[in-house]
Chain A
Amino acid sequence: MTAPTLPARYRVAERRGETHDTVTLALQPVDQPIPAHQPGQFTMMYAPGIGEVPISISGTGPGAGLVQTVRAVGAVTRALCAAGQGQMIGLRGPYGTHWEVDRAAGGDLLIVAGGIGLAPLREALLAALGNGARYRRVVVLIGARSPAELVFGQELGGWRRGGAEVEVTVDQAMEGWAGHVGVVTQLLGYADIDPARTTALICGPEVMMRLTARELRALGVPAARIRVSLERNMRCGVAECGHCQLGPLLLCRDGPVISYDVAAPLLAIREL
């Protein structure tokens, strides 16, 4: 009676510190890998003996390898961020809905990321760049707390060379920063997007997603072409524990990627 909800074993092949509290882990399966995933889906990452948290997959590695970016904010994530090369962690999944990047083909893809929200969007961006001819423009707007807290900072050059227009803004500048200073929605003004052709993927703190979506709506992008990645407390990942409800949605099954026309009325209800 083996349940499919047992963590699969993965080893840390490589560990890269992104910021003072964020780590990217390149993982290789020890036994059978978990099934193939789509950009935007998540796994329940298991820190042995400590617990699990839902973490969006941020990339793929050689073979059946996966890349996951974790921010240390509690007991489980601190343990995951401390995992060294060769150490074993567990993964269950992949779960949830995905960014549906292909549906934006033929038009412009706008990616707006706030803070650690860039991690769930990274694969969507890589998928779009991999299929470059299918998009007229790929625009990436990134907001970070400060230049020192920018994740994947060393990859931006590669993304630009791959055809993406990448702009970064920080809430707080540091010495030597010659880039934008301001909230990420201010970058929309410079991006000159064509609302009729744009599909927007947004991920970051919920307030940031609401404000960005509102700004995009004001520019004329239809709500159905704006997608956000929502989160709530998750325990099982398989729609059986009841924790991740957001009104009628079970975010592990109906999300985390939600179309904004569905999300907007739910996000407007306090304490839903």
Chain B
Amino acid sequence: MTAPGTPHGEPVSVAGAAELGGHAFLRGMPDAYVAVLARACRGTAARAGHRFFEEGGTADRFWLIVSGHVALDVSAPGRSRLIVETLGKGDLLGLSWLVPPYEWQFGATAVQDTMAFELNALAVRAACEGDPGLGYELLRRVMPAASSRLHAARIRMLDLYAAAGQAGDGP
């Protein structure tokens, strides 16, 4: 990727297949498939504060984060945005582009200046329809990411750090 981008997350360049293939998320993906994705991809640099998407918006893009820090959030009346999870280097930003009706479930903000590959979801979905092999390669990477976040969410719900008594101490 080339130089820092413009203030509000404009694309900086068309990402080459070689660069894209080097991203941790796509490790091991056959070059031919990386090339397909590269045609639907561009590099983007987002300043801190940039809103990648809003809850309810059309999920027509997704990102592979190269550096930086992104927060997923929900809005509630009377409260500022509630952060549900943060993502960083190596992470996939966006899952709803794969799940009908393709609407964002959360909002996303760059907490720090963030560099990422931005991919065109419609183009990628169409390419997968045309080549299930590409679809499979993508899904077998998306699934572990989603599973890991589901697992983490379940663990957080257990509230393990809450006080429940200490060894040997009476009630």
A interface with B by C-beta (< 8 Å)? 21, 51-54, 71-77, 114-116, 143-145, 149, 169, 171-173, 175, 177-183, 185-186, 189-190, 204-205, 207-208, 211, 231-235, 243
Contacts and interface: CB of A to CB of B under 8 A. Distances in A.
A162 to B, nearest CB: 24
A173 B82 contact: yes
B167 A53 contact: yes
Interface string B1-45: 000000000000000000000000000000000000000000000
Given A173-B82, A182-B152, A77 B167 contact: no
B96 interface: no
Interface stretch (B50-58, B126-134, B155-163): B155-163
Contacts of A178: 111
A207 B163 contact: no
Nearest to A206: B160
B156 A171 contact: yes
A71 to B, nearest CB: 6
Contact of B160 (A73, A175, A208): A208
B78 interface: no
Name which of A54, A181, A234 has the most chain B CB atoms within 10 A of its CB. Answer: A181
B168 A53 contact: yes
Interface residues of B, number: 32
A114 B161 contact: yes
Contacts, number: 97
Name which of B85, B89, B165 has the most chain A CB atoms within 10 A of its CB. Answer: B85
A207 B158 contact: yes
B84 interface: yes
Contact of A181 (B71, B91, B159): B71
Contacts of A190: 88-90
Interface string B62-81: 00000001010000000110
Nearest to A233: B168
B168 A234 contact: yes
A122 B57 CA distance: 45
Interface in B76-105: 79-80, 82-86, 88-91
